[in-house]
Structure 1
Amino acid sequence: MGYFINEDGQRIFYEDQGVGHALIFIHPPGMGRKVFAYQHELSQHFRLILPDLSGHGDSDTLTGNPGIEDYAKELLELVDHLKLDQVFIFGYSAGGSVAQEFAIQFPDRVKGLILSGAFPKVNTRLLKLEFLAGMKWLKHNPLSLARLLSSSHFKHHETKVEQFHHILKSDVDVWYAFYRNSLTYDCTRQLYKLSMPLLLLYGTRAEWINHQAPFYHSCPQANLVVVDKAYHQLPATHSDVVNQAVIDFFKRSYVHKNK
């Protein structure tokens, strides 16, 4: 575990465990790094880096309106701080917007991109309504929203409570801005730049999100894994499938490729 000071003077907290190829996890708005509680076992195969983006969890807040591009730059600062040449990036939900922006802006720093329930833009009415409902809920009652998010991801009591308290550390203005900026983010015209190996993870019951997969047809090395009878919260609810898919993706796209 450690901190680094970014260009704006914020302390950015991150966990760093395991050895091998670096794999960085990017969380959705509000949730912080604890949403990846069940990905820690991947430290047996990778060097895991789990940051709290600025304004989230144990990281500082200096601005209440960080954009997706700002977070991509913050991620680059973390990669440089750790003296990593190239990394694998895992973006979950709207955290996938940051992961995609980073890979588009700095493709030479990305060995592989993994997106779980992510989207290049909000293009369905239902997804837009979910964003707007979350933003409205956050303005009126962040406590109950934190309780809903932690309960919808985790069933184990201690993990759920830990996630709930971690969410409450997030700056509400930053949390709201992350929602808003993800709602308007659109990288569809730049997806062709994602020429690195790409893994897409979706659940069959997350109907609104499954409209996103066709956007990635322009990506030359895209791989799709669809988890049966699963909703959106795959890293938490189907961690065994997600973790094995990540291992298989690494072996297929990097180990076998470099033999």
Structure 2
Amino acid sequence: MLGILAVERNKHFLAKVLAYSHTKDKNYRKILKDHMIKSNTMVWSKYYLESLLFDCKKDIKDLSIQTLLMYGSKSDHINTYLKFYQNNLPNSDIYVVQGESHQLPTRQPSYIYQMLAGFILNKT
């Protein structure tokens, strides 16, 4: 709900906070912030709302493909759902990156690339 309010009331502030939290690179922060400011406020709000309402638990049990899950150890999602994923996704590889939150691709791009490449090469 906080994200929805922030988008609707101060999109520039939210863009700055998100850009700062996703990377340490100042140039990339500016690119992210500028890109987010261009976004449609209604679409951004709807995305946050849909994210709050989304629940994949009933469908996840039907996945039979190899699945790669990557989470940061500081992410609330991994602490909440790790056992569920372990019990319901038998064909999955789950990696938890210590000391990171949910911004793995921007915080640890080289490490994420290595995990993806290894997963793809080992599964094909």
- Structure 1 length as normaliser, TM-score? 0.46
Q: Tell me, what secondary structure is at the counterpart of 1:193?
A: coil
In the TM superposition, what whole-angstrom CA distance separates every residue of 1:187-246 from its partner, at most 9, and x where no partner exists?
21111221111011111122x111122222222311111111112211111112111100
Q: Tell me, what secondary structure is at the counterpart of 1:231?
A: coil
Q: Tell me, what secondary structure is at the counterpart of 1:212?
A: helix
1:249 maps onto 2:119 in alignment = yes
Q: Which residue of 1 aligns with 2:38?
A: 169
Question: RMSD value over aligned CA atoms?
Answer: 1.1
**% same residue:** 29
Q: Which runs of 4+ in 1 moved over 4 A?
A: none
Q: Is the 8 A contact 1:147 1:164 kept in 2?
A: yes
Pairing of 1:31-180 with structure 2 (within 5 A):
132-180=1-49
CA distance in 2, matches of 1:248, 1:202: 16
Structure with the bigger percentage of strand: 1
CA distance in 2, matches of 1:253, 1:165: 38
Q: Which residue of 2 aligns with 1:209?
A: 77
Where in structure 1 are there 5+ consecutive unaligned residues? 1-131, 255-259
CA distance in 2, matches of 1:204, 1:220: 21
CA distance in 1, matches of 2:83, 2:122: 22
Q: Tell me, what secondary structure is at the counterpart of 2:38?
A: coil
Q: What amino acid sits opposite 1:228 in the alignment? A: Q
Structure with the bigger percentage of helix: 2
Q: What amino acid sits opposite 1:209 in the alignment? A: H
CA distance in 2, matches of 1:141, 1:235: 26
Higher-RCO chain (CA-CA 8 Å, sequence separation at least 6):
2
Q: Tell me, what secondary structure is at the counterpart of 1:225?
A: strand
- Structure 2 length as normaliser, TM-score? 0.92
Pairing of 1:210-249 with structure 2 (within 5 A):
210=78, 211-216=80-85, 217-249=87-119
Q: Is the 8 A contact 1:135 1:176 kept in 2?
A: yes
1:199 maps onto 2:83 in alignment = no
CA distance in 2, matches of 1:243, 1:143: 31
Q: Is the 8 A contact 1:200 1:213 kept in 2?
A: no
